[in-house]
Amino acid sequence: MTPLDDLVFHHVGIACERIENEIPQYELIGFRREGEIFEDSRQVIRGLFMKTGSMQIELFEFERPRGPEADRHRPVNVPGIYHICFVVKDVDKDYQRLKAAGVPFHFPPQDFGIAKAAYGRDPDGNVFELLQWPTPLKPPRDSSEH
């Protein structure tokens, strides 16, 4: 199978019950609004792009037909995209800041040996991961340098 030419990641779309409920939490994570909430009257959809660095998310709210109520505790073993990962510099600090703001987490940051991570949920139950890679080790100083 041949890979797609010039493939570039653009965004992840997240369906939500109310866009306004999601915005504050994604702002806490570090996203900023890209424009205003747009509406598509043909499909009765509201949407908003949010961005941090080169990563974008698009929040969608389907006004009609409304989807079922979100299962905010759905298990992550159900097929489909089950989390979004954000690399952070200090997972403990970011976890404490988000937890103090009321963001629910599955557990405090855990050290998995190769990295440290914490998993939380947005207001509609979508799982996100805060991932901290270990600080690169500095090469030993050459003893001949003075």
Inter-axis angle of helices 19-29 and 91-100, to 10 degrees?
A: 150
User: Encoding tokens for residue 28?
Assistant: 């806490």
H helix or E strand, kind and range, residue 57: strand 55-62
Q: What is the pLDDT of residue 40?
A: 76
Check pLDDT > 50 for residue 124.
yes
1-67 to CATH, choices 3.40.50.720, 2.60.120.560, 3.10.180.10, 3.30.360.10:
3.10.180.10
Fold of 82-139: 2,3-Dihydroxybiphenyl 1,2-Dioxygenase; domain 1 (3.10.180)
Q: What is the pLDDT of residue 67?
A: 77
> For residues 98 and 130, what is the distance between their CA atoms, to the nearest angstrom?
11
Q: Tokens 């389907």 belong to which residue?
A: 62
Q: How confident is the model at residue 136 (pLDDT cuts 50, 70, 90)?
A: low
For the chain, domain boundaries: 1-67, 82-139
Check pLDDT > 90 for residue 57.
yes
Asked if 64 and 87 count as a contact pair (C-beta separation under 8 A), the reply is no
| Fold match flag (1-67 vs 82-139) | yes
Over residues 75-97, the mean pLDDT reads 88
Asked if 16 and 50 count as a contact pair (C-beta separation under 8 A), the reply is no
More confident of the two residues 63 and 117: 117
Beta bridge partners of 15: 60
Over residues 2-20, the mean pLDDT reads 84
CA-angle at 86, arms to 21 and 80, nearest 5°? 75
Q: How confident is the model at residue 139 (pLDDT cuts 50, 70, 90)?
A: very low
Q: What is the pLDDT of residue 141?
A: 54
